[in-house]
Amino acid sequence: MKIGFIGLGNMGAPMAVNLAQSHEVMGFDTVANPQGLTLAESNTAAAKDADVVITMLPNGDILRAVATDIHPVMKPGAIHLDCSTVDVESARAVAAQAQAAGLKAIDAPVSGGIGGATNGTLTFMAGGPPDAFATVQPLFNIMGQKAVHCGAAGNGQAAKICNNMILGVTMIATSEAFVLADKLGLDRQAMFDVVSTSSGYSWSMNAYCPAPGIGPQSPADNGYQPGFAAELMLKDLNLSQMAAEAANADTPMGQAARDLYAQFVENEDGNGKDFSAMLPRFEKRTRP
């Protein structure tokens, strides 16, 4: 398969490198210039001969702009596979634009972070036509370990933001529970041993514990270096609240998590830290 890969940042570069082991990949990025890839001079040059064009871009506005550039030059019937995390509305607009140009579009945001991108162990959650999903399945198998078809265009993004809304909420709940436990004189290891096997368990507690030295290795054991940065969590919580507003869904915990991460990133010292640094944030605080 000939693949165009646009957006070769922290995630895109290792994904493209993995694909280049067994496919012809032509990459492009406005800034990044990663080793080990054949690079084109423009988005359109990377896209024009490709059977599948993958985009891995920062946000929906940039995705829409790139789609407007590349769709007119793509081969008839080619697939635009967008793996960025963007708003549901942009994903659906890009899919409609692709269809109008005689192309197919799949939105397939990922979970698994830079480690997953490097090791080829990402999880993809995809929206779009089933035949196009089947065509790109071999690429998912190279870049990841699992791909779930979630339905029509935009449903991949819907799954991603619902998942990350739960993640943001549970990380805050887990962090504030540790602080309450500290103040009640409950040992953190005892707290972990109970909660991780009781009804309060979650990925935030069991797999990515925000307390240093407790549970499996996590960014808490590395000075809260990301990992998954607090500002990326804020991006995803903004996307889930945008979607909730557009769909008239009541998501008060998602809103509270969004507001806390916004406060942490924009007005406190959260920028550049892992999203689990919510625990030291709560440690410094008392009831308002």
- Contact positions toward ligand NAD, by CB under 6 A? 6-12, 28-32, 43, 56-58, 62, 66, 84-85, 110, 113-114, 228, 232, 235
Our CB check for ligand NAD shows the closer of 107 and 282 to be 107
At 5 the three-state DSSP class reads strand
Q: How far is the CB of 195 from ligand NAD (least distance, A)?
A: 26
Least distance to ligand NAD, CB of residue 189, Å = 29
Which among 172, 169, 94 is positioned nearest to 128, based on CA atoms? 94
> Active-site residue 160, yes or no?
yes
Give 91 or 244: the residue with its C-beta nearer to ligand NAD. Answer: 91
**Run of H or E including 144:** strand 144-149
Of 1, 56, 68, give the one whose Cα is nearest residue 30.
56
Single-letter amino acid code for the residue at 156: G
Task: Give me the least distance between CB of 109 and ligand NAD, in Å please.
Answer: 6
Catalytic residue among 104, 160, 235, 273: 160
Give me 219's structure tokens: 């960014």
Which residue number, 10 or 197, has a Cβ lying nearer to ligand NAD? 10
Question: Whole-number minimum distance, CB 59 to ligand NAD, in Å?
Answer: 6
Q: What is the DSSP string of 20-59?
A: HTTSEEEEE-SS---TTSEE-SSHHHHHTT-SEEEE--S-
> Which structure tokens are listed for 195?
């909660």
Residue nearest to ligand NAD (CB): 9
Omega cis (within 30) before 227? yes
Query: What is the C-alpha to C-alpha distance for residues 19 and 162, in angstroms, rounded to an integer?
Result: 28
Residue 192 or 273 with smaller CB distance to ligand NAD:
273
- Helices of type H across the chain: 12-20, 43-47, 60-70, 88-100, 113-119, 130-143, 155-183, 188-195, 203-206, 230-247, 252-262, 278-283
Rounded to the nearest whole angstrom, what is the least distance from the CB of residue 153 to ligand NAD in the complex?
A: 17
Residue with Cβ nearer ligand NAD (64 or 104):
64
Catalytic (active-site) positions: 160
